[in-house]
């Protein structure tokens, strides 16, 4: 209880670090991390094609809905034939592992950014009092940079597979009757998520340098003069 009280009493809001690269880049990471997992986790799309029927019958529209986490075979869609009979169909493919990994990295990155911003702005004296804080920050930030590289690459490949599996031109190839491909589902949001992933990679990797400068591993090339080295007394 005493420890908690000391921690709360030691809080002192200082917006100064936001003017430095260390704090400013962390805010950018916080924002782009939200964009990365939000554009992926909330996605829902529809692919469709038509079953061609002889005149005077109208063509039958077939709509297949899919979305995060992209287990395409989990949700059936109905294919209606010209004789008014119907059949349950499924999209093929399970791309949930890469999508969920990408979102997981984003969520944990968001939580880490939130925690470190509180530390930078409220406990800056605690952060810089010892070398332990900057060293841990450097290691975790470098680890997240690596995770963004892996997860963004995996999700980029997963998105390519999702596009192929939901492409109407690909779906009509498996039709047992005459079908015509409809419009390709809108995936601009998912394309943006991959871009945000690689932007996060650049931000987190670049921020490692500014955190490194806070650690004892970085030596100031122009250290301040000490009393011993110091100032030559005047006449």
For residue 94, pLDDT beyond 60: yes
| Mean pLDDT score, 189-214 | 93
Which of the residue ranges 15-24, 44-53, 109-118 would you say has the lowest mean pLDDT?
Answer: 15-24
Residue 231 is predicted with a pLDDT of: 47
Contact indicator for 138, 212 with CB cutoff of 8 Å:
yes
Residues in the chain: 235
- Report the sign of the C-alpha dihedral through residues 128, 131, 132, 135, in that order: positive
| Mean pLDDT score, 193-217 | 91
Q: In angstroms, rounded to a whole number, what is the distance separating the alpha carbons of residues 191 and 176?
A: 32
- Structure confidence by residue, pLDDT tens digits, 5-38: 444 556 677 777 788 888 899 999 999 999 999 9
Share of the chain above pLDDT 70, in %: 88
| Mean pLDDT score, 78-100 | 87
pTM of the predicted protein model: 0.83
Gyration radius from the chain CA atoms? 27
- Report the sign of the C-alpha dihedral through residues 97, 98, 100, 106, in that order: positive
Is omega for the bond preceding 191 within 30 degrees of 0, making it cis? Answer: no
Q: In angstroms, rounded to a whole number, what is the distance separating the alpha carbons of residues 5 and 12?
A: 14
Nearest 10 degrees: Cα torsion 15, 21, 24, 29:
-140
Structural domain spans, the chain: 36-212
Q: In angstroms, rounded to a whole number, what is the distance separating the alpha carbons of residues 44 and 137?
A: 36
Q: In angstroms, rounded to a whole number, what is the distance separating the alpha carbons of residues 147 and 153?
A: 10
- Structure confidence by residue, pLDDT tens digits, 55-77: 877 888 889 899 999 999 888 88
Three-state DSSP string of the chain:
CHHHHHHHHCCCCCCHHHHCHHHHHHHHHHHHHHHHHHHHHCCEEEEEEEECCCCCCCCEEEEEEEECCCEHHHCEEEEECCCCCEEEEECCCECHHHHHHHHHHHHHHHHHHHHHHHHHHHCHHHHHHCCHHHHHHHHHHHHHHHHHHHHHHHHHHHHHHHHHHHCHHHHHCCCCCCEEECCCCCCHHHHHHHHHHHHHHHHHHHHHHHHHCCCCCCCCCCCCCCCCCCCCCCC
Mean pLDDT over each residue of the chain, to the nearest integer: 84
Q: In angstroms, rounded to a whole number, what is the distance separating the alpha carbons of residues 136 and 101?
A: 23
Q: In angstroms, rounded to a whole number, what is the distance separating the alpha carbons of residues 154 and 96?
A: 11
């Amino acid at each position: 209880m005493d420890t908690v009280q000391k921690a709360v009493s030691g809080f002192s809001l200082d917006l100064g670090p936001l003017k430095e690269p260390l704090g400013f880049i962390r805010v950018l990471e916080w924002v782009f991390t939200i964009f990365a997992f939000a554009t992926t986790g909330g996605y829902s799309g529809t692919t469709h094609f038509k079953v061609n029927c002889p005149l005077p019958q109208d063509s039958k529209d077939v709509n297949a809905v899919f979305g995060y986490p992209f287990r395409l075979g989990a949700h059936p869609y109905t294919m209606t034939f010209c004789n008014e009979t119907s059949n349950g169909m499924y999209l093929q493919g399970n791309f949930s592992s890469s999508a969920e990994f990408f979102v997981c990295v984003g969520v944990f990155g968001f939580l880490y950014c939130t925690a470190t911003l509180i530390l930078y702005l409220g406990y800056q004296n605690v952060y810089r009092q010892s070398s332990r804080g900057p060293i841990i920050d450097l290691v975790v930030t470098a680890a997240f940079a690596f995770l963004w590289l892996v997860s963004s690459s995996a999700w980029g490949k997963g998105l390519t597979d999702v596009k192929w599996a939901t492409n109407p031109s690909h779906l009509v190839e498996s039709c047992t009757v005459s079908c015509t491909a409809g419009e390709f589902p809108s995936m601009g949001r998912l394309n943006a998520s991959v871009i945000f992933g690689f932007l996060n990679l650049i931000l987190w990797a670049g921020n490692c340098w500014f955190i490194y400068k806070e650690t004892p591993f970085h030596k100031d090339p122009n250290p301040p003069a000490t009393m011993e080295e110091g100032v030559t007394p005047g006449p």
